[in-house]
Structure 1
Amino acid sequence: MIRHRIFILSLVVSIISANARAQHLPAFKPLRYDEDYSWLKKDSMTDFYKRMKYLPLSANGNTYLGYGGDVRFQYFYSKNEAWGDAPKDDDGYILTRWLGHADLHVGKHFRTFVQLQSSLANSRIDPSPVDENPLELHQAFVDVSPVVSGKTNLTFRLGRQELMYGSQRLVSVREGPNNRQSFDAVRTILTSGDYRVDAFYSHFVKAEPGIFDDGFNKNVKFWGAYLVRNKMALVHNIDLYYLGLWKRNATFNDGSGTETRHSVGTRLWKSNGDWKYDMEGLFQFGKFAGKTISAWTASINTSYEFSEARFKPEIGFKAELISGDKHKDDNKLQTFNPLFPRGAYFGLAALIGPANMLDMHPSVSLKLTDKVNLGIDYDMFWRYSKNDGLYAVNVALIYPDGNSGKAKIGNQLATNLGYQANDFLYLQGEFTWFNAGSYLKEVGSGKDILFTGATVQFKF
C-alpha cells in the first residue's frame, strides 16, 4: 500500500512538472476513449507525460499505445439523510474512485481500449452498487474502422463500453456517483460532415459486490439509434433518437413486472456563445406488467452569460414537466422512465430523480478568477401526479403515493465552489440544503437535509 501511494504521488508530481514546462494539452473528454493523441507523432518536444500518451510501437509510428487514468477522492456528510428515514451517520463517509485505461491503435483501421475501475465507499453505512464496486473490468472493446477519411468515418465497436448521448438526460456515463456505468454492446458509429449517427444493441452491466464479477446481465437490454445534425440554420443543432428498453423486473408505484419501453424524442440545443439553450421533448410507449405505457417529458434549459461584465455572471433557468401515473391499479402506466441518466440530475446531492415531477430551477454562476468558479442554484419540486410516488435517479421508488393529496416535494438550495488548479487537478466544495415539503412530511419523517462534500480529482 505504501509503495502504491508513493507511485501515485510520483506520477502526480511528474505530470504536473511536465505540464508546467509544456504548452496546454487538449482538455480531457467525458468519454476517455474519444481522446486522440495521434498528433504527438509530429511533436518533437517529448517528455514523460507525452510518452505515456503516445508510445510508438512501429517504425512509422502508426501503431502506438497510450495510457491514462482518473483518481477521485470525496468526503460527504449528510444530516437527516433520506429526510430522516436513513440510519444516522455522525461522521460522514469517504468515496474513492480509481480509473485506469490502455488504448492500442494498430494503423487507422483497428483499435482496442481497456479500462479498469475500482470504486470504494469507506465508512458508508450499507453502500449501494452505485457507491462501491471494488475492482472490475469497466470497459474492454475493439474498433474496426473500414472507412476513415477527412469527411466520413465508419466504425464498428464490439465489447464493454460507456455510452453517452445528448445532454445525458437519458443515457450517461454517470460521472457524479462513485461507480460509472457501462454496457456490453455492439455498436455502429457513422460520422459524415455535420452528421453523426449511432446505432447500438446492449445489455446493461450490473455492478456486483465482489472483484471481477460483473458478468453478462440478461435481465436488462437496451438498444437504439441516435442522430445528431450540427450547424443548422435557426436551431443550430438538433438530435433525433429512438431508444428501447427491456427489463425483466421493474417496479413503480403502480406495481412490479416486466417492462418493454420505447422512447422517441428530439432535442434542440446551442452550447456556445453568450446565449445557450437546450430544449428536449420525448414520448414513451410500450408494455409493463400487462399495462400500456404512455409517458412523456418536456424540458427547457437556457442561460445567458454577461461575458463583458466582471466575474462573467451567467444566469440560467431550467424547467421540466415529467409525467406520472394518473390512476393506480388501472390498465395504464404514465410514469416516465429516465432510462440511464446522469447521477447528479437535480443538483450535486442527487436526492431525487426525474419521474413524476414538476421542477423549476433558476441558477447563477460566477467566474471569480480564471481558475475559480462559483455556482448557486435553487430548485422547486412538485409531484406531477398525486397518485404516483417519488423516485430516485435510477427509478427506484423512494416513497409511494401514500394516499397523500399533497404535491409539494420541497425546495433545494445548492452551491458549489470549484478550483481548476491546472490541466490535471480539480478541487470542489459543495453544500446543499433541502427543505422538505408537505408531501415528504406526510409519507415519511420529512426532515430537512443538510449535505456537504469536498472533492479532489486528478486526471492524466
Structure 2
Amino acid sequence: MKNKILLVVLLISFSGFAQRYPDFKSLRFDENYSVLKNDTVSNDWYKTVKFLPISSSKETYISFGGDIRFQYFYAKNENWGDGPQDNDGYVLGRYLVHADFHAGKYFRTFVQVQSSMADGRIDPNPVEQNPLEVHQAFADFNIVNEGSKKLILRLGRQELTYGSQRLVAVREGPNNRQSFDGIKAIIAKQNFTTDLFYSHYVVAHDGIFDDASNQDRQFWGSYLVFNKIPVIKNIDVYYLGYERAKAAFNDATGKENRQSVGTRIWGKTENWRYDGEAVYQFGDVGDKNISAWTASINAGYRFNSVKFRPEIGFKAEVISGDKKIGDNSLQTFNPLFPRGAYFGLASVIGPSNLIDFHPSLNFEIAKNVDWVIDYDMFWRYSANDGIYAPNTSLIYPGDTTTKKKIGNQLESEIVWEPNQYLYFRLEATWFQAGDYIKASGTGKDIFFTGITMQIHF
C-alpha cells in the first residue's frame, strides 16, 4: 500500500513540470544539469534536487535522480510448460537512485544504488531479484574537456552499452540492470568518439550489498563511432575480448577465450530508419577453435503524411550455430552481454544458433501513444546445435530432433508516454511452439501478458 501511495504522489508531482529540464538518458550519468546554473526560477524543489550548488560559483554541485518501475506479469505455460508453473502472476519492482557530484569541469563522481524485488515469483533468479546493491560507483577524471574535444578516464563500477545493444547492454528489460567493475578511457573529437575499456562482470547475489566482481569473467575492448559520414550517415567499428574460466555449450566445455570484431551502419532520415550489423568471432573453448558469426538488418519506413503515421518495419538475423558434433571447432555464437529480453519478455531464447525473421507495424494512435504489432519466426541455424538463453546457458540440446523450427511469436503492445517523467506499457504475447520445441520438452504454446508503470526523476 505504501508503494502505491508513493507512486500516486509522484505521478501527481511530476506531471505538472514544464519541459525546461534536460531529457532523461538510458545511461543516467550522461545527463547534464549544469544548464540550470543560470535558471532564474526560485522555490522549485525539483530544480534543487537536480541542481544543488555547493560553491558560490555554482561550478561544484550535486544532482540527484532515479527511476521507479512496477510490473505485473502473467504467463501460461512459461518455458513451454517445463518446470514449475505460476497460475497467479507476479509483481516486479525496481528502484534506482543516484547522486552525481561535479567539482568543476575536470572531476565528477557518480553513485547509484539498485533494489530489484520479485513478489509472488516462484524461485526468482538474480536477474529478477536483487534486494539492494551498489549498482554504479565511479569517478571521472576529465583530462581534456573543451567543447567537442574530450578525454575522460573513468574508474569504478559502471554500466556499459554500445551500438544496438546486441552484444553489450544495460539489460533494461529484465528487472535487474547489469554493470561492470573496470577502467575506461573516453575519447571524443567532433564527429568521432571511441571507448577503450577493461572490466570484470559484476555478479548479482540475493543479499544486501553483496554483489562483487567475477574474477573469472573478464571483458575488454574498443568501440569506435564515426558520425556524419556521407551516404551511410554513421558507422561503428569495434573489437571486444571476453574470457571466462568455465563455459558450457552443446558440444564444448572449458575455458573460453573469445574475440569479436564487428561493424555497424546505422542512420535515420525523415521516413527511413536502418541498422545493419555484422560480427565475426574467433578464439577457443577448451580444445575447440571458435569460428562464429552473425549478420542482421533492422529497417523501417514511416508514412508521415498518413493518419496514425504507420511504420512498416522488418528485422532479420542469421546467427551461427555449431555445425558438427565431436570435431575440433565450435561455430556457436556468444552474444556476450546483450539486452536480456532480446526477443521480448515472453521468450527465453537468446541470439545463438538462430535464424529470425521479424516484420512489424507501428501506429501513433494518439498523442504520445504508440501501438506496436510484430510477428517473429524462429528456426535453428544448425540442426546439430541446441538453443540458448541470452546468457548462453543451454535450454535444449541439439540431438533431440533434426527439426529446425523453433516457433512463431505474435506480440502486441501499447505504450503511453504522457511526458518525459512517466511511462506506461500494456503488452501481450503468444508463442506457438514449433517442431523442435515439441520434440525437446513439454512443447506447449506460451501466453504472456503484462503491464508496466515507470517514473523517471
Fold agreement, TM-score > 0.5: yes
Match of 1:430 among 401, 404, 427: 427
Percent identity over paired residues = 57
The equivalent of 2:414 in structure 1 is 417
The DSSP-based 3-state class of the residue aligned with 1:205 is strand
Deviations 1:306-330 (A, max 9, x none): 1111101010000011000001121
Alignment match of 1:373 (pick from 360, 370, 375):
370
Contact kept, 8 Å, 1:24 with 1:423, in 2: the verdict is no
Match for residue 29 of structure 1 among 25, 31, 34: 25
Pair 1:14-2:10 in alignment: no
Q: Is the 8 A contact 2:371 2:413 kept in 1?
A: yes
Per mean C-alpha deviation after superposition, the further-off stretch among 389-398 and 339-348 is: 339-348
CA deviation profile, 1:1-54 (whole Å, cap 9, x unmatched): 95x77666545433333x0xx334332111000001110001112411111100
The answer on whether the counterparts of 1:426 and 1:457 sit within 8 Å (CA) in structure 2 is: yes
For the residues of structure 2 that align with 1:275 and 1:73, how far apart are their CA atoms? 34
Tell me the amino acid that sits aligned with residue 342 of structure 1. Answer: R
Distance 1:91 1:28 in 2: 34
Q: Deviations over 1:147-195 (max 9, x none)?
A: 1111201100000000000000000000000000000010000110000
| Aligned match of 1:247 | 244
Q: Which one-letter code corresponds to 2:426 in the other structure?
A: G
Distance 1:370 1:284 in 2: 44
| Inter-partner Cα distance in structure 2 for 1:135 and 1:209 | 9
In the alignment, what sits opposite 2:57?
A: 60
Could you list the structure 1 runs, at least 4 aligned residues long, displaced by more than 4 angstroms after superposition. 4-12
- Residues 350 and 393 in structure 1, CA contact (< 8 A), matched pair in contact too: no
C-alpha distance in structure 1 between counterparts of 2:306 and 2:334, whole Å = 41
- Displacement of 1:216 in angstroms is 2.4
The Cα shift of 1:68 comes to 0.3
Aligned runs of 1:119-198 on 2, under 5 Å?
119-198=116-195
The equivalent position to 1:111 in structure 2, one of 94, 103, 108, is 108
Greater CA deviation, 407-416 or 396-405? Answer: 396-405
Task: Name the amino acid aligned to 1:15.
Answer: F
Greater mean alpha carbon deviation, residues 155-164 or residues 85-94: 85-94
Return the alpha-carbon distance in structure 2 between the equivalents of residues 203 and 431 of structure 1.
36
Deviation at 1:342, TM superposition (A): 0.7
Answer yes or no: is the 8 Å Cα contact 1:296–1:323 preserved in 2.
Answer: yes
Kept in 1: contact 2:319–2:333 (CA 8 A) = yes
The residue identity in structure 2 corresponding to 1:364 is L
The one-letter amino acid of 2:373's match is: I
Number of residue-to-residue matches in the alignment: 456
Instruction: Choose 402-411 or 177-186, whichever is displaced more.
Output: 402-411
Separation in structure 2 between the aligned mates of residue 302 and residue 69 of structure 1, nearest angstrom? 32
- The answer as to whether partners of 2:92 and 2:175 remain within 8 angstroms in 1 is yes
Q: Does 1:48 align with 2:45?
A: yes
SS at match of 1:216: strand
Q: Is the 8 A contact 1:387 1:403 kept in 2?
A: no
Unaligned runs of 5+ in 2: none
Q: What SS class does the counterpart of residue 341 from structure 2 fall into?
A: coil
The root-mean-square deviation of aligned C-alpha atoms, in Å, is: 1.3
Give runs of aligned pairs for residues 264-303 of structure 1, distance below 5 A: 264-303=261-300
Residue 454 (structure 2) pairs with residue 457 (structure 1): yes
Q: CA deviation at 1:403?
A: 3.7
In structure 2, which of residues 274, 292, 311 is the aligned counterpart of residue 314 of structure 1? 311
> TM-score scaled to structure 2, two decimals?
0.98
Q: Which amino acid aligns with 2:57?
A: N
Q: Report the AA paired with residue 96 of structure 2.
A: L
- What amino acid maps onto 2:80 in structure 1? W
Deviations 1:54-99 (Å, cap 9, x if unpaired)? 0111001000000000000000010001001021211011100000
Amino acid at match of 1:454: I
What whole-Å deviation, never above 9, does each CA across 1:217-263 have from its counterpart, x for those lacking one? Answer: 21110000000000000110000000000011111111321100000
Residue 457 and residue 377 in structure 1: after superposition, are their counterparts in 2 closer, same or farther (change >3 A)?
same
Distance of aligned partners of 1:283 and 1:451 in 2 relative to their CA distance in 1, 3 Å threshold: same
**Contact 1:390–1:398 (8 Å) recurs in 2:** yes
SS in 2 for 1:442: helix
Normalization by structure 1: what TM-score? Answer: 0.97
- The verdict on how the C-alpha distance between 1:429 and 1:296 changes in structure 2, with shifts beyond 3 A counting, is same
Matched residues in 2 for 1:291 and 1:23: separation? 56
Q: Please, which runs of 5 or more residues in structure 1 have no aligned partner?
A: none
